[in-house]
Amino acid sequence: MINTLRKKNRKTLFTTPSHSQTFSIFSKLKQFYKYDISELDCYDIEKSLRNAEVQAAKIYKTKSTHFLTNGSTSGIIAAVLTCVKPDDKVLIWKSAHRCHKNAVILAGAIPVFYELEKDEEWGIYKEFTVDKLQNDIKAVIVTSPSYYGIVSDIRAIKQACPNAYIIVDEAHGALYPFGIMESAIYQGADFVIQSLHKTAGGLNPTALLHNNSNLDASLALDMITTTSPSYPILASIQQNIRFLNSQRGRKNIKLLLKNIDTLKKNIKTVDFLQTNDPTKVVIKKHGMTGYELSEFLYKNGIEDEKTNEKSTMLLCGIGTDIRKLNRLEKVLKKL
């Protein structure tokens, strides 16, 4: 897609977008305007997008992978619309992202809610377990990893419920296929949705919908996706995947994990939650609430991602370099 966007256009355009790649209202985004094109005959950008998605599916080893520019929300909705019919029952977590319930409502299906146990020491929810499953459900949506890095056993869920579609909200696990841990893609999930913009260094709101079912998710995506997508953002998804899958990208991820491990070894002033996902640095301090700890961090120049009564989570990913981690270490040593 990048090569297509770089292609020199010699036509005089009387088309959308009306800025014609030459006029920019916001000067700081002038380069962005240059590559902001629509479905023009002189570019054939739609073919380039299709090819990019085919290449992505090969990298992820999926039946199909779709680029999303409306975040994981659109992927969740499309997955539900693809596999669920009106009045089907869909099992969803009561405290899940609102798009889970919205997707079920849009499909005309019936939401069946489940609760998760809570780790009272850390103030976070535990993983999904197979005892939550029901025999009459058409699909189940599982958030794995959670915001705090809690990962569920998707393979066990699929084995316990082979006739239901397994939809995994892996929004926070976009780095998993590249050396972190096993993605739900490879554990039998039918649909896996990942947000590149959360930990994988992508632009807001880039995401991916991975499809390993025998159903065609493109039909549902067509219903909820604009016919005028941002091709520069779509092209950034292609480049993002290429980077993650490259030697340089994998080296970056490996170094990130090493630096996070070093941080944890150097800090004795807080407790660290032990999870399968090292990109979520969850901490608590004896004698302080999570909110007090968060406020302390903020006053010392550190803003966390999420906080509860007991603990605070700092999100790491592509872009979390050694300088940021050294700054965090210095602040934590003040406690």
pLDDT tens string 244-289: 999 999 999 999 999 999 999 999 999 999 988 999 999 999 999 9
Residue 3 resides in a domain: no
Q: Which pLDDT belongs to residue 214?
A: 97
Domain, as residue range, for 270: 248-332
- Are 175 and 215 members of one domain? yes
Residue 109 resides in a domain: yes
Residue 17 resides in a domain: no
3-class DSSP assignment, residue 169: strand
Q: Which amino acid is at 279?
A: T
- The total of structural domains in the chain comes to 2
- Give the residue from 224, 245, 266 where a domain finishes: 245
What percent of the chain is modeled with pLDDT above 70?
A: 94
- Are 283 and 225 members of one domain? no
Q: Which residue has the higher pLDDT, 230 or 72?
A: 72
Number of Cα atoms under 13 Å in the Cβ half of residue 332: 25
Residue 195 resides in a domain: yes
pTM (whole model) above 0.95? no
Q: Which pLDDT belongs to residue 2?
A: 66
Residue 55 pLDDT > 70: yes
- Are 230 and 268 members of one domain? no
Element at 124 (helix H, strand E): strand 124-125
- Are 69 and 162 members of one domain? yes
**Region 112-141 average pLDDT:** 96
Q: Which residue has the higher pLDDT, 144 or 21?
A: 144
- Are 264 and 136 members of one domain? no
Q: Which pLDDT belongs to residue 334?
A: 97
Q: Which tokens belong to 112? A: 């069946």
Q: Could you tell me the CATH number of the domain that includes residue 217?
A: 3.40.640.10
Residue 302 resides in a domain: yes
Residue 2 resides in a domain: no
pLDDT digits (tens, 9 = 90+) for 194-208: 999 999 999 999 999
- Are 241 and 253 members of one domain? no
- Are 155 and 218 members of one domain? yes
Q: Where are the beta strands (DSSP E) in 150-295?
A: 165-169, 191-195, 207-211, 271-272, 280-284
31-45, 100-114, 222-236, range with the lowest pLDDT:
31-45
User: Model confidence at 5, in pLDDT bands (50, 70, 90)?
Assistant: low
Residue 213 resides in a domain: yes
36-40, 71-75, 125-129, 141-145, range with the lowest pLDDT:
36-40
What rounded mean pLDDT belongs to the chain? 93
Residue 240 pLDDT > 80: yes
User: Model confidence at 22, in pLDDT bands (50, 70, 90)?
Assistant: confident
Residue 9 resides in a domain: no
Q: Could you tell me the CATH number of the domain that includes residue 327?
A: 3.90.1150.150
**Region 304-316 average pLDDT:** 97
- Give the residue from 220, 245, 270 where a domain finishes: 245
Q: Which pLDDT belongs to residue 135?
A: 87
- Are 291 and 211 members of one domain? no
DSSP 185-216: GGTT-SEEEEEHHHHS-PPTT-EEEEE-SSS-
Distance from C-alpha of 217 to C-alpha of 116, rounded to nearest angstrom: 29
- Are 197 and 255 members of one domain? no
- Are 115 and 193 members of one domain? yes
45-54, 160-169, 282-291, 293-302, range with the lowest pLDDT:
45-54
- Give the residue from 210, 227, 245 where a domain finishes: 245
- Are 196 and 275 members of one domain? no
Q: Which residue has the higher pLDDT, 166 or 21?
A: 166
User: Model confidence at 45, in pLDDT bands (50, 70, 90)?
Assistant: confident
User: Model confidence at 27, in pLDDT bands (50, 70, 90)?
Assistant: confident
Q: Which pLDDT belongs to residue 241?
A: 98
Is the distance from CB of 56 to CB of 241 less than 8 angstroms?
Answer: yes
- Are 233 and 266 members of one domain? no
**Region 147-173 average pLDDT:** 97
